[in-house]
Amino acid sequence: MQDVELLMPAGNLEKLEYAVRYGADAVYLGVVDFSLRAMRKGSLITMENLKQAVDLAHSLGAKAYVTINIFAFNNDIKQLEASLDKFKDANPDAFIISDYGIFNLIKRNIPDVPVHISTQTNTLNYESVKFWRDLGATRAILARELPISDIAEIRRQVPDIELECFVHGAQCVSFSGRCLLSDYFSKGERIANHGNCTQPCRWSYKLVEETRPGEYLEINQDGRGSHILSPKDLCLVKQLPQLIDAGVDSLKIEGRTKSLYYVSAVAKTYRQAIDEVLQNPAADMDKYFNELLKVGNRGYTTGFALGDNNGDSYSYNISKGLAGADFLCEFRSGSAPQGFYFVKIKNKMPVGEEVEIITPDEQFKAVVEGIKNEDGEDLPLGNTNDDVYVKFSRAPKNPKYALVRTVGIKIPV
């Protein structure tokens, strides 16, 4: 089987580094004005530090793809023209583009950087892929709506272009993410395809009959609730052998707005799964699926991959992803008492709790044996957002990128 790329989201500089440390071959990132994800916290990637972000990925041995995939109006084109020098100076490994005008600008002004065609173009067939190839694109990011059998046919028909597919993460209710609901509900203030989606597909809805104003009726009568537009999250880890056999070059994870823990844990799981499949195409993927239950999800679906997308692909009872395991703390650099480690608490963690510690190279269970505050006083637990010192019954060999989570798995239903 051929080599295949694991492509992870890089919502900020810290997530970029963790994604690569935990197994990504490449990352995709964007800046607010030209990307479909507008980040609000962390070491944000901006036009000023875009080159720093790309250089960081390269220093870690990974590729960096820059997204310029908004739906562009005239003002966006003018703003992009004024930013071309900074994009060129950043020197990414590719630009991810959906707009024909932006495609022309990039090919004309930065011709040496490859162009990948965004999933926003709704690329569903081999003739579309040929069209983009003939225009000079080096990769097509196929629509999520494609079954694996169609992907295989596209590969047979167009062997001389890279193919990329989403395999994990949140899905949009609209075709390849081309959604206008946010625009309408926010009266144009939160435009989805400019990176500011309010995610109205995750809201709960009720039905009103026009002659009975004020009488709100449940849309569903089976007690499951009314999140009728909210798809479950995509998870194709069990289908990795088929996807790789179909000729997919890059396996993409959604989630530039997801947490540091999410990015790290998902990268680690897919890295291990891909490596095993490349060695043994008949490998059992169930253990990796169980690992992915530990990160935030709305329940999992295979979406359109198997050609049987149906009502079971929607999450009727929850709107927000629920983590199967709680992210408890991350190790931080800094001095600590003998046998203790300096950590940032993310969720309440008591002394005596059995936890799971993951690093880029390890994964094991341990017990929290002690917690101290900055004054060296013993604490019964660490509270959310506390900076404390923690002693574990077993410590990681390299704690620099270590994360701690609960052991049990809570499964959304």
Domains of the chain as residue ranges with CATH: 5-176+230-323 (3.20.20.70), 327-406 (2.40.30.10)
Checking if the pLDDT of 306 tops 80, the result is yes
* pLDDT value of residue 378: 97
Query: For the segment 140-160, what is each residue's pLDDT rounded down to a tens digit?
Result: 999 998 999 999 999 999 999
pLDDT, tens digit (0-9, with 9 covering 90-100), for 108-140 = 999 999 999 999 899 999 999 999 999 999 999
Task: Check: CB of residue 308 under 8 Å from CB of residue 291.
Answer: no
* Closest CA relative to residue 359, chosen from 21, 99, 6, 17: 21
Higher pLDDT, 218 or 137: 137
Q: Which of 136-145, 190-199, 326-335 has the lowest mean pLDDT?
A: 190-199
CB 139 within 8 A of CB 249: yes
Q: Judge contact between 276 and 292, C-beta under 8 A.
A: no
User: Is 210 a residue whose pLDDT tops 60?
Assistant: yes
Using CA atoms of 88, 93, 98, 102 in order, give the dihedral in degrees to the nearest 10. Answer: 20
- Half-sphere exposure for 155 (CA within 13 Å, toward CB): 20
pLDDT in the model for residue 224: 45
pLDDT exceeds 70 at position 353? yes
Q: What are φ and ψ of residue 235, in 5° steps?
A: -145, 110
What pLDDT shows up at residue 214?
74
Q: State the pLDDT at residue 178.
A: 57
Q: How buried is residue 335: exposed, middle or buried, by Cβ count under 10 Å (0-12/13-18/19+)? A: exposed
Whether pLDDT at 401 is above 60: yes
127 Cβ contact partners less than 8 Å away, ≥ 6 residues apart: none
Residues facing residue 388 across a β-bridge: 343
List Cα–Cα distances, 372 to 291, 342, 402, in angstroms.
31, 10, 19
**Residue 319 CA: distances (Å) to CA of 195, 208, 225, 297, 364:** 19, 21, 10, 10, 31
pLDDT for position 221: 40
Instruction: Tell me the β-bridge partners of 64.
Output: 27
Average pLDDT over residues 207-234: 64
pLDDT of 324 reads 82
pLDDT band at 42 (very low <50, low <70, confident <90, very high): low
d(CA 302, CA 36): 23
pLDDT tops 60 at residue 73: yes
pLDDT, averaged across the chain: 88
For residue 304, the model assigns a pLDDT of 87
Does 202 score more than 90 pLDDT?
no
pLDDT at residue 79 tops 80? yes
Helix (H) or strand (E) holding 115: strand 115-117
Q: What is the pLDDT of residue 289?
A: 96
Residue 152: its H or E element: helix 148-157
What is the rounded distance in angstroms from the CA atom of residue 145 to the CA atom of residue 184? Answer: 24
pLDDT tens, position by position, 361-398:
999 999 999 999 999 999 999 999 999 999 999 999 99
pLDDT band at 232 (very low <50, low <70, confident <90, very high): confident
Lowest mean pLDDT among 123-137, 232-246, 302-316: 302-316
Decide if pLDDT at 322 tops 80.
no
